[in-house]
Amino acid sequence: MKIIKVDLGERGYSIHIGNSILSDKKIFNQYITSKQVLVVTNERVAPLYLKAIEKHLVNFDYEVFILPDGETYKSLDSLNQIITQLLERKFSRTCILIALGGGVVGDLTGFAASCYQRGVKFIQIPTTLLAQVDSSVGGKTAVNHPLGKNMIGAFHQPHAVFSDTSVLATLPDREFAAGLAEIIKYGLIRDEKFFSWLEENINPLIERDNQVLAYAIERSCINKAEVVAEDERETGYRAILNLGHTFGHAIETALSYKEWLHGEAVGCGMLMAADLSKRLGFFEQSQFDRIQLLLERAALPIKVHNDAEFNQIFENMKVDKKSRDGILHLVLLKNIGEAFVTSDYSEKALKETIKNFLC
Ligand code: NAD
Ligand code: GLY
């Protein structure tokens, strides 16, 4: 098992990565410090992995909350239901929540933990690749508002993260590819060596070779942990983790969250950021081609079709959280392995980039 520390002083924690963590009683005993435990999961994950968790909870006063599956349920309504269950069961401030699922379950559970009685502990047990390399680490928690994704949330760091790679065996290929987009992101924003490693290892990675997968998750978590340790609340540097997200969120919203997975939108968004960087003269065509090829090999979409309209995408970008005082800041690329944040781009170039990706 690999252990990566997120160095945040008293809010610091460990990410445990291995292929048999769910059956490791010791680790549960070490981290579950309260008798009152609420496991939040969903209808898809529960039949697969809930029993493995429940085995460790026989001596606890534990409850389970099972959400329907889907991004729609990352909502205030679901949050309210969780809080109601906690109150009905008289859970106190020392209780602990466990998020067993992908990013939807993790973000919602983390937000519930941040609000319940002004903040209780929670453990992330991410079960998608995207959640293992990104959403379970760093303490961003949120629910969606009908007018914008992740618009209601809080920073609340988990007590620990348990990433068991064996659960990825049941993940559908499309979901797996969506996680690869976030892995590729780390190479692009700050780890050129890792990007080159991904180019060499993308085939075994797609085949879910255990060792290759474990290394990709570890390297991603190390990158994320370092960024978060430097800028926990995204006052500056952490914004590079949003490469592709401003474009991606705008596309997801334009498609009413129905067509693309978050990671797919981020993948295409990263290529759009590279395209804009190229138009502005920061980035080489040959580097753009390397990104496009890697995304294609990872089976990620690189063009937006269906019903997304130019105006919708352009307008959606303006309500992005990366907007400061109404000015949209974008994460762009100087090189593979070097991202930066800027508001210094022409609207004309941005519009050309968006148009270039519609078909
Ligand atoms: P998800 O949670 O919807 O999971 C994807 C699908 O896989 C779901 O149908 C889920 O039920 C299923 N699933 C989960 N684990 C499985 C398994 N082991 N086997 C089979 N099926 C499984 O989506 P996601 O991609 O994990 O996360 C996306 C969410 O994460 C978005 O809401 C996004 O905003 C959020 N996010 C948050 C952060 C952050 O820093 N907090 C970062 C990135 C993304
Ligand atoms: N996923 C972006 C962040 O955690 O900051």
Active-site positions read: 118, 140, 182, 224, 234, 238, 242, 245, 249, 262
How far from the centroid of its chain's Cα atoms is residue 297's Cα? 21
2-170 CATH choice from 3.30.420.10, 3.30.70.20, 3.40.50.1970, 3.40.1160.10: 3.40.50.1970
Query: 3-class SS at 258?
Result: coil
Residue nearest to atom 30 of ligand 1 (CA): 103
pLDDT at 236: 94
pLDDT digits (tens, 9 = 90+) for 142-174: 999 988 788 999 999 999 999 999 999 999 999
Which ligand has an atom closest to residue 136 CA? 1
pLDDT at 13 over 80: yes
Which ligand has an atom closest to residue 224 CA? 2
Going from the Cα of 314 to the center of ligand 2, the distance in angstroms, rounded, reads 22
Mean pLDDT of 334-356: 95
pLDDT at 248 over 90: yes
Name the pairing type of β-strands 140-145 and 148-155. antiparallel
Going from the Cα of 312 to the center of ligand 2, the distance in angstroms, rounded, reads 24
Percent of the chain with pLDDT over 70: 97
Going from the Cα of 88 to the center of ligand 1, the distance in angstroms, rounded, reads 28
pLDDT at 243 over 90: yes
- Joined together, the tokens standing for residue 315 give 């307008």
Q: Grade residue 189 by pLDDT with cuts at 50, 70 and 90.
A: very high
Name the pairing type of β-strands 2-6 and 140-145. unpaired
> What mean pLDDT is reported for the chain?
95
More confident call, 33 vs 179: 179
The residue whose two tokens read 């291995």 is 18
pLDDT at 227 over 90: yes
Going from the Cα of 257 to the center of ligand 1, the distance in angstroms, rounded, reads 13
Tell me which residues have their CB closer than 6 angstroms to ligand 1. Answer: 42, 44-45, 48, 69, 71, 74, 101-105, 107, 127-128, 130-131, 134-135, 138, 140, 150, 167, 170-171, 175, 178, 261-263
Neighbouring residues of 252: CB distance < 8 A, sequence distance ≥ 6: 149, 260, 262, 265
**Which ligand 2 atom is at minimum distance from the Cα of 242?**
2
pLDDT at 277 over 70: yes
What span, in angstroms and rounded, lies between the C-alpha atoms of 75 and 14?
Answer: 28
The verdict on pTM exceeding 0.75 is yes
What span, in angstroms and rounded, lies between the C-alpha atoms of 182 and 224?
Answer: 10
pLDDT digits (tens, 9 = 90+) for 290-330: 999 999 999 999 999 755 688 889 888 877 655 666 789 99
Which ligand has an atom closest to residue 233 CA? 2
Domain 173-356 has CATH 1.10.3720.10: no
Lowest mean pLDDT among 69-73, 104-108, 145-149: 145-149
Domain ranges of the chain: 2-170, 173-356
**Which ligand 2 atom is at minimum distance from the Cα of 227?**
5
pLDDT at 268: 97
